[in-house]
């Protein structure tokens, strides 16, 4: 191996280690850390973030990248991809001062703890000063990348490399109009029965059933674990330690079940990266939209499908016999796929989910542009919920405080959920062309061929290609709304007789 390339990989391995150490501290904060530890934890994560940043912007890193060129290698080789991705990351890091990195890390650690308390109390005022600080830092972050086409571009680029705000807005413009029309058409039809889902379901039995499901999906418990948290998430401490969390509602099993399947989809992606990419920037997702395509695929295209429940519903009836013993498969399937505008994004049905995302993206843009002040955010949130979904949250916990993302400073992340929905169906169509008996396999509880296809075409590829390049390479087109709209209309047309 080229000595300079070898040295570059050594530095990248150290950077990866520092990032993984931060992930351990963050995971502990959201699962087991006592509330009083927030300030100390913020200092610890801040120090590690600063050290990681300093490694990225070091003179040695700059000199190595100056002397190495992707043109020296085959364009499709791992080496060429590694140099492209590393150079991109280096150029981004050199624009951001180390003091900002440390301050942002500390602020978001404190912000997450404040969000937990504010959400529990359903009191936005408790969180307001922390969000104002985070917003101030995110605005400053955009200035590091001026000139730009839009202030939101720098935020989005952190999660969707190469994509622009205008590009996403154009996709969402077509999506919004047709999804609103679909939701209205469904609302005019007789609604499905679902009350049986809202009764007591013992939490331990829920947990055990969720574990049973994702074990069949292929989640490797020798390289992962599941814990409880206020907001479900997935985190990786290395290629062989990828953990998930879930939350439970004793009076509604969907919270745990679909949240667990969702996070399992994320984990399967991270566990499937190529060992050859370990401890390098290639050992990560192509983008968060690709990541979300995996979680939404396992949660919705698999987990809310009729073939899936033909296999698993008898088992669920056995576990929850008093709740579901007299409920038919057809009734249950329709209930878990009912379309009903709701307050909570993570529990939204597929027909309304993207509207939650568009709402959040618009609010983020308004905050960054300065046309919306943080103090007015709850009112603006409720107004858009009423406009888009016809519901007004009864309190802050079910409204503006329901998501953890802004407490962690993750502006630009929300659009990836809707983009992930689109990508999931584009991939799904391709998968079904190449595995024509996929539905029959799922009905038998067999997921090996599906996971194998994803491993080969998405997971093992890692971050070698930008998201639009990878999606086109695998499906033949860039991210587009048409396949997802076809899927929604076919599925709900059957359920609601449209």
Q: Active site includes 263?
A: yes
Nearest Cα to 454, choosing from 271, 263, 232?
271
Pull the structure tokens for residue 27.
Answer: 């995971």
Distance (Å, whole) CA 74 – CA 244: 37
- β partners of residue 238: 241
Number of H helices and E strands in the chain, helices first, is 21, 3
Taking the CB of residue 322, how many other CB atoms lie within 10 A of it?
9
Note every long-range contact of 113-121, with CB atoms under 8 Å and residues 24 or more positions apart, other chains counting.
113/29, 113/35, 113/38, 114/407, 115/401, 115/404, 115/406, 115/407, 116/35, 116/230, 117/35, 118/396, 118/401, 119/230, 119/396, 119/397, 119/401, 119/402, 120/397
The stretches of 57-123 forming alpha helices (DSSP H) are: 59-67, 78-94, 98-121
Nearest Cα to 424, choosing from 336, 344, 497, 486?
486
Nearest Cα to 142, choosing from 124, 126, 158?
158
Pull the structure tokens for residue 296.
Answer: 């939404």
Q: What are the two backbone dihedrals, phi and then psi, of residue 241, each rounded to the nearest 5 degrees?
A: -150, 85
Q: What are the two backbone dihedrals, phi and then psi, of residue 238, each rounded to the nearest 5 degrees?
A: 160, 170
Distance from the Cα of residue 146 to its chain's centroid: 27
In the chain, helix, strand, coil percent, each to 5?
Answer: 70, 5, 30
Distance (Å, whole) CA 195 – CA 403: 26
Please pick, among 52, 102, 160, 263, the residue that the annotation labels catalytic: 263
Pairing of strands 234-238, 226-228: unpaired
Distance (Å, whole) CA 281 – CA 86: 7
> Which active-site residues does the annotation give?
263
């Amino acid at each position: 191996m080229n000595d300079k390339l070898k040295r570059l990989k050594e530095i990248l391995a150290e950077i990866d280690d520092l990032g993984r150490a931060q992930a351990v501290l963050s995971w502990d904060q959201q699962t087991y850390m006592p509330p009083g530890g927030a300030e100390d934890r913020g200092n610890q994560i801040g120090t590690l973030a600063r050290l990681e940043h300093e490694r990225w912007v070091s003179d040695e890193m700059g000199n190595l990248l100056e002397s190495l060129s992707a043109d020296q290698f085959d364009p499709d080789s791992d080496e060429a991809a590694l140099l492209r991705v590393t150079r991109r990351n280096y150029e981004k890091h050199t624009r951001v001062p180390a003091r900002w990195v440390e301050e942002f890390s500390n602020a978001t650690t404190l912000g997450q703890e404040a969000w937990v308390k504010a959400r529990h109390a359903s009191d936005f005022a408790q969180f307001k000063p922390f969000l104002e600080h985070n917003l101030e830092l995110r605005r400053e972050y955009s200035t590091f990348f001026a000139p730009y086409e839009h202030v939101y571009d720098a935020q989005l680029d952190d999660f969707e490399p190469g994509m622009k705000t205008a590009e996403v807005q154009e996709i969402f413009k077509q999506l919004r109009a047709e999804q609103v029309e679909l939701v209205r058409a469904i609302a005019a039809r007789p609604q499905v029965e679902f009350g049986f889902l809202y009764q007591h379901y013992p939490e331990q039995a829920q947990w055990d059933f969720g574990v049973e499901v994702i074990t069949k999906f292929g989640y490797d418990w020798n390289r992962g674990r599941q814990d409880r948290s206020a907001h479900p998430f997935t985190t990786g401490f290395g290629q062989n330690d990828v953990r998930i969390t879930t939350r439970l509602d004793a009076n509604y099993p969907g919270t745990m079940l679909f949240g667990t399947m969702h996070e399992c989809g994320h984990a399967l992606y991270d566990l499937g990266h190529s060992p050859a990419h370990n401890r390098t920037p290639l050992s990560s997702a192509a983008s968060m939209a690709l990541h979300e395509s995996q979680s939404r695929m396992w949660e919705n295209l698999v987990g809310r499908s009729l073939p899936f429940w033909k296999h698993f519903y008898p088992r669920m009836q056995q576990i929850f016999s008093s709740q579901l013993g007299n409920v038919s498969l057809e009734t249950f399937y329709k209930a878990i796929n009912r379309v009903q505008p709701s307050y909570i994004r993570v529990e939204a049905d597929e027909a309304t989910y993207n509207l939650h995302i568009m709402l959040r993206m618009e609010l983020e843009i308004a905050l960054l542009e300065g046309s919306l002040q943080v103090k007015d955010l709850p009112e603006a949130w409720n107004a858009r919920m009423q406009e888009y979904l016809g519901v007004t949250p009864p309190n802050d916990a079910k409204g503006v405080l329901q998501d953890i993302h802004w407490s962690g400073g993750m502006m630009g992340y929300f659009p990836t959920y809707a983009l992930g929905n689109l990508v999931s169906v584009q991939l799904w169509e391709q998968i079904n062309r190449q595995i024509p008996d996929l539905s029959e396999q799922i009905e038998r509880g067999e997921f090996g061929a599906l996971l194998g296809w994803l491993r080969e075409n998405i997971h093992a590829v890692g971050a070698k290609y930008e998201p639009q390049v990878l999606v086109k390479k695998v499906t033949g087109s860039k991210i587009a709304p048409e396949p997802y709209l076809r899927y929604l209309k076919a599925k709900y047309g059957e359920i609601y007789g449209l």
